[in-house]
Amino acid sequence: MAGTLFQDNLSPYLTLVEGSAPSAPAAGDRRIYVLSSDHLVYLKDSSSAVVALMSNPMTTAGDTMYGGASGLPTRLAGGTSGYVLTSNGATSAPSWQAAAGGSSGLLAVHAYGPASAAIYTTTSTSMADVDATNMAVTFTAPASGNVLVRLSAWADVTPTNQDEYWGLRESTTNLTGSMGIIMRAQNPAPQAFVTYTVYLTGVSGGSHTYKWSFGTSAGGGTARIVAGDGSAIAKFAPAIMEVWAAP
């Protein structure tokens, strides 16, 4: 009777048994079924056209998003994180990531933290390697060919009216667009933990090793970088090099 439907069961449900695809229904009808091979729910019409409906998300670790003929998102992400649905329900990496042909996000990181502080000093007005072994990072170029490189370390420069430059070198080549003033000495000379970020475009495919470089302005200035293990308050922090995929 009206108003009493499901009165004895306030939580009705429908159970679909997994199996093979059924035959096409009569004209104007639809059949819903679950395939045992992939656990997806499907809808078939009288012309045998099939549309995938929403499956049980997280069925298996590593599930990816699935797009069916309807053009709508039809499967949720499981173990694959950091991906988004496109308009047809397929997956793609966010626009700032490399979708193919290279890695995405953080490509490499190198932290140098010796137990006894390493002190690097230069009076050169030409860019030079800080430490070709310990102050270098190796990565594989992303598909975009663009990277964001971040350098972080304790630094100072003396005497007054001198500049300290940081940059990147690959082999013996100074990378164009990577060099800049990170500190300018006033009175007294500054001492600080500095983070310097470089954006590089057109990086060729394959493996690259970028070396941290530094220099100082003319006039007998002295630039320093210090790396420690950060094991106590009185210790210097590690020097860190990060390489990120960029748009």
Q: What confidence tier does 137 reach under pLDDT thresholds 50, 70, 90?
A: very high
State the chain's mean pLDDT as an integer. Answer: 79
Q: What pLDDT, in 10s, does the model give residues 151-167?
A: 999 999 988 778 999 99
Q: What confidence tier does 246 reach under pLDDT thresholds 50, 70, 90?
A: very high
Q: What is the C-alpha separation between 110 and 124, in angstroms, rounded?
A: 25
Give domain 106-245's CATH number out of 2.60.98.20, 2.40.128.20, 3.30.530.20, 2.60.120.760: 2.60.120.760
pLDDT at 33: 83
The pTM assigned to this predicted structure is 0.60
**215 touches 223 (CB < 8 A):** yes
Q: What pLDDT, in 10s, does the model give residues 108-126?
A: 999 999 999 999 999 999 9
Greater model confidence, 229 or 98:
229
Q: What pLDDT, in 10s, does the model give residues 22-74?
A: 888 888 888 888 888 877 888 788 888 877 775 444 444 444 444 444 444 44
E runs forming strands in the chain: 18-19, 30-35, 41-45, 50-52, 84-85, 91-92, 106-112, 118-122, 128-129, 136-140, 147-158, 163-170, 173-174, 180-184, 191-200, 207-216, 222-227, 239-245
Q: What is the C-alpha separation between 72 and 235, in angstroms, rounded?
A: 56
Q: Which residues pair with 67 in a beta bridge?
A: 73
Tokens coding 219: 């006039």
**125 touches 216 (CB < 8 A):** yes
Choose from 91-105, 120-134, 149-163 the range with maximum mean pLDDT: 120-134
pLDDT at 10: 60
Tokens coding 92: 């793609």
**For the chain, which residues make up each domain, given as ranges?**
16-92, 106-245
For range 207-219, the mean pLDDT: 92
pLDDT at 105: 92
